[in-house]
Structure 1
Amino acid sequence: MAQVLVAGVDTSTQSTKVRVTDALTGRTVRFGQAKHPDGTSVSPDAWWDAFLAAAREAGGLDDVSALAVGGQQHGMVLLDGSGRVVRDALLWNDTRSAPQAAGLIEAFGAAPATDAERARGVTDGGDAAAATLRGKQRWVRAVGSSPVASYTLTKVAWTAEAEPDNARRIAAIALPHDWLSWRIAGFGPVAPGGDAHLDALFTDRSDASGTSYFDAAANVYRRDLLALALAPAYGGDASFGADGTVLAPAEAFDHAERITLPTVLGPHDAAPVKADPAIAGRDVPGGCILAPGGGDNAMASLGLGMGVGDVSISLGTSGVAAAIAENPTYDMTGAISGFADCTGHFLPLACTINGSRITDAGCHALGTDYDGLAELAAKSVPGAGGITLVPYFDGERTPNRPDATATLAGMTLANTTRENIARAFVEGLLCSQRDCLELVRALGVDVRRILLIGGGARSSAVRAYGPGILEHRITLPATDEYVAIGAARQAAWVLSGASEPPAWELAIEETLTGEPTPEVYAQYVGYRG
């Protein structure tokens, strides 16, 4: 029997990875990778160039029967009517839209709570704190999550306010994985007046659920929320009426209705278009099928084969704690994002802007490498002699402190040593993820298994102290590219036509255990407030 190949593409913040995979076993056949430019505002053309380079390094895609793209969430790609990018994409970690996020919450919170809302637990009261919480709660009820600077809608609102001419040019809004899938299908910018086939854009529930204008529970776009964000471009303020309707200028509503948004496919639906044979599937009868793709966290959970009760903690550029839930989750504090997963379930998720770069910063500050940082930390004790790092280097999303900076607290002349500082950096990373884990637990998620993945999981110090700080046994899957694996698994699922994804074996490197160290997290909580 001839080997059938599928490809999983991971277009992440830092690079594009292409994993050509055996559709039956899930084993890697070929692999390629190419870097993205640094920065939080990037031309999508750089992603396209990186994909082509990674595909070449992977030996080409001519023999690939199905392909899916997993991508960094929330990034805003604006296209005009000719399919040209209106402005550089704003990535998830670009926090310039923090004021707009606060403004969207304020707009939703201004009107008093109705009797029906009060019955559902929406906050009443007229002071500013009550109005802010009420706004967050209304957003959670509307789309599963309350806006923060990471989310796409806040970036649209920033564009409408800071660059109104660009906002008025928007003909389509895509996310990074949507845009790259569209390009792989052979579409792209055309001459003015030509048909750019914007209607061929497609996405999935997981990525759409991170925009703040898609309700994953009802599976519908909320174009009224897009109108709310676009209002400043049309010279008006927007608000949330007491009857639950969005109030905005008529021109904003008209524009929101005209914008092309990617078609949201089901978990194992084939896209209505196939890959351009010049890019993939040239040697495959019938060509290369395109699968829906998805957001990177949901794709990683698919790659890990996660089920209900599993929580993954991913230490990459960001830090993410994500759980699989059967039903929608509504965190009325707004701290947890109520996303969808790639299988038809839901993915309550807490994300920190600062992930493994925390230990990068520790290495830089102490003039050492990862092994050196671990060796120094091992000479300290739990709690780092009283020193705590609150690691909000680039601001923070969980908790929502976009303007924060990092602090080293608790230093004295006696405890300020390289060993204690090294330990504090590792403990700060793990405690920030414990914050996320506790938020997930607070929603009633019964945490049965914790899987630790990402580049930061390779740290011997993270492995040594993780079980104690998280106070839970940790399953350590073998180091691999789980977003790309999840994308490949989805591609194989769509290709098979089966009702369930293929059962690929997950290689477990080891199970980490350790004595609980609750005093470390308690010390951290005391300093981070």
Structure 2
Amino acid sequence: MIRGIGFKEDAMRCTLGVDIGTSSSKGVLVDADGAILATASRAHDVSRPHSGWVEMDGRVWWEEFVSLAGELIAAVPGAEIVGVGVSGMGPCILLADEEDEPVRPAILYGVDTRAGEQIERMTDELGAEEIARVGGSLLTSQAGGPKIAWIAEREPEAWARARRLFMPASWLARRLTGEYVLDHQSASQVSPLYDIEAERWHDEWWERYAGPIEAPELRWAGDIAGAVTADAASLTGIPEGVPVIVGTIDAWTEAVSVGAHEVGDLMLMYGTTMFLVATGEQTLRTPSMWTTAGAFPGTRNLAGGLSTSGALTAWLKDLTGADYPELLAEAEVSGPGARGLLMLPYFAGERTPIQDPDARGVIAGLALEHTRGDLYRAALEATALGVRHNVETMRAAGADIRRIVAVGGGTQGRLWLQVVSDVTGLVQEVPEKTIGASFGAAFLAAVATAEGEPAEIRDWNPIVESIRPAPETRALYDELFDRYRWLYESSKDLVHELAADQREASA
């Protein structure tokens, strides 16, 4: 899908941003004032060949970039592209050979839970305290290091050919410029191979677990990786010599897109999964969250994520055959508490704060009189309860959360935003543009290539609305949160047995 809007006939300075997401790739062409001139998107699917595996062919990332760039440029013939921004889901592990051909599909972020044995063994070998001291976080399904070790142990033929490590943004930067770089924020999630305080690769552990892989050069997200090569220009239509930024993981780029990357900010991203990023100056360590480098020098992040959010609502939509407007209207009628339903949203395991890849979805209280609207309401409330669990865990770890900015496709439905504010008791600020990480990537490219004073994101994307919690629902949701926590603890042993049965059936 592509949309173009009015533009000047004479050339105007523009930046192009592309983000590779879990369910789609999105591109945007933006002028120097932040006006969106054209947007384009490509839907794609991930592969789930076994229970707990989530993969994607990395070659699709470049193919979709080429397609998006061509359509965006064609939509605005008066555009003079002066910079290119890239971002993508992560942390992903895409290993390529010396010719930059992928040796296997990319292993995705924390939703892929295959490396449990490697997590356990590496923790035993290195020590949990030392891993947290060096990398900031304990090893979980989000960590890149155990996934590299999994390939080395389980797929020796692929491992024998592997020479380079990429994530979506760095893969695009490589294809566009020929430079082999990775941003610090992404690198800090290749735990335990990155030293968060020294802001460099941990050479000893890199050699131990990723020996034959050439370590990419580390830069910051908004730095310029290089310039578009002649070959890339011929494929994409982007002029040769145009600067390309290093880029970073989509959640962090999305935080940039709404100005939620300053100290004291919390970005709450509504997407296929839910993601939270709190920004500060100190390295906060807690076993149940992810400590990472920030997107920019001098910042640190405490991050978390739900394994399902939009994926859960999409599952219900597909299951019931209804469309989203119908389900939202029926969920509104259902009302707070979903007429006595309580759902655990762990349909793909769960990331933070329980860090339990064997968690599974639970729907408690079902009766014959319940409707699909009740189920949809319970799903919205389940994700909101997960957000509250994460926020409370962050604050307990010392995070100073002063403002919350909501972003992502899920912000288009105001009911979901209201439910999250009601359950958490937090005010959410909503920006004018919620197009996402592609817009943030275009902004970073504009800053990196600015002539004179660089743009400010508050001018490109001002806050236009605040969602405030309804005080009359507070007591109900406080009680529901207590039940939510109790339901997980009470059912997890049985659920873990069922998860094991699912793996056996899948095998």
Please give the TM-score of this superposition, normalised by the length of structure 1. Answer: 0.80
After TM superposition, list the pairs within 5 Å mapping 1:134-149 onto structure 2: 135=128, 137-149=129-141
- Which residue of 91, 95, 99 maps to 2:117? 99
CA positional deviation for 1:388:
1.0
Greater mean deviation of Cα atoms: 465-474 or 137-146: 137-146
Change (3 A) 1:88 1:75: same
CA change 1:478–1:58 in 2 (3 A) is: same
Equivalent residue in structure 2 for 1:178, among 145, 162, 170: 170
1:55 alignment counterpart? 69
Counterpart for residue 191 of structure 1 = none
- Whether the 8 Å contact between 1:298 and 1:342 is mirrored in structure 2 is no
SS of the residue 2:16 aligns to: strand
How far off is 1:261 after superposition? 2.1
User: Aligned equivalents of 2:380 and 2:220: distance in 1?
Assistant: 40
In 1: Cα distance, 2:235 partner to 2:190 partner = 29
SS state of the match for residue 460, structure 2? coil
1:74-223 alignment, distance < 5 Å: 74-92=91-109, 93-109=111-127, 135=128, 137-185=129-177, 187=178, 200-212=179-191, 213-223=193-203
Post-superposition CA distance 1:427-458 (Å, at most 9, x none): 11111111221222122222222112222222
Distance of 2:93 and 2:326 partners within structure 1: 39
Aligned residues: 459
Gaps of 5+ in 2: 1-9, 48-53, 490-507
Change in 2 beyond 3 A, CA 1:501/1:329: farther
Distance in 2 of aligned mates of 1:222 and 1:322 = 24
- Secondary structure at 1:66 match in 2: strand
Structure-to-structure mapping, 1:307-386, within 5 angstroms: 307-331=262-286, 333-342=287-296, 344-386=298-340
Task: Provide, for residues 240-273 of structure 1, a one-character-per-residue CA deviation record: whole Å limited to 9, x for no partner.
Answer: xxxxxxxxxxxxxxxx2x5222211135432244
Structure 1: give runs of 5+ residues left out of the alignment: 110-134, 188-199, 231-255
Q: Residue 20 of structure 1 is aligned with which of 22, 29, 46?
A: 29
Offset, 1:418: 4.2
Equivalent residue of 2:92, what SS?
Answer: coil
Taking the aligned partners of 2:237 and 2:298, their CA distance within structure 1 comes to 28
Q: CA deviation at 1:341?
A: 2.1
Q: Counterpart in 1 of 2:479?
A: 519
After superposition, the CA RMSD in angstroms is 2.5
Distance 2:107 2:236 in 1: 28
Measure, in 2, the Cα distance between the counterparts of 1:400 and 1:498. 46
* Aligned equivalents of 1:469, 1:228: Cα separation in 2: 45
Q: Does 1:64 align with 2:81?
A: yes
Quote the Cα distance in structure 2 between the aligned partners of 1:444 and 1:309: 11
Residue 249 of structure 2 is matched in structure 1 by 295
- 518-527 vs 268-277, which moves further: 268-277
Question: 2:6 aligns to what?
Answer: none
Superposition TM-score, scaled by structure 2 size: 0.84
Report the Cα distance in structure 2 between the residues aligned to 1:497 and 1:173, rounded to whole angstroms. 34
SS at 2:480's partner residue? helix
d(CA) in 2 for partners of 1:450, 1:395: 26
C-alpha contact 1:338 1:347 (8 A) present in aligned 2: yes
Identity %: 26
Q: CA deviation at 1:425?
A: 1.3
Distance of 1:162 and 1:497 partners within structure 2: 50
> What CA deviation, in whole Å up to 9, does each residue of 1:311-343 have, x standing for no partner?
111111111111111222222x24233342245
Secondary structure at 1:389 match in 2:
strand
- What's the CA shift for 1:3? 2.6
With over 3 angstroms needed to count, the CA separation of the structure-2 counterparts of 1:294 and 1:374, relative to structure 1, is same
Pick closer, same or farther for the CA change 1:497–1:348 going to 2, 3 Å.
farther
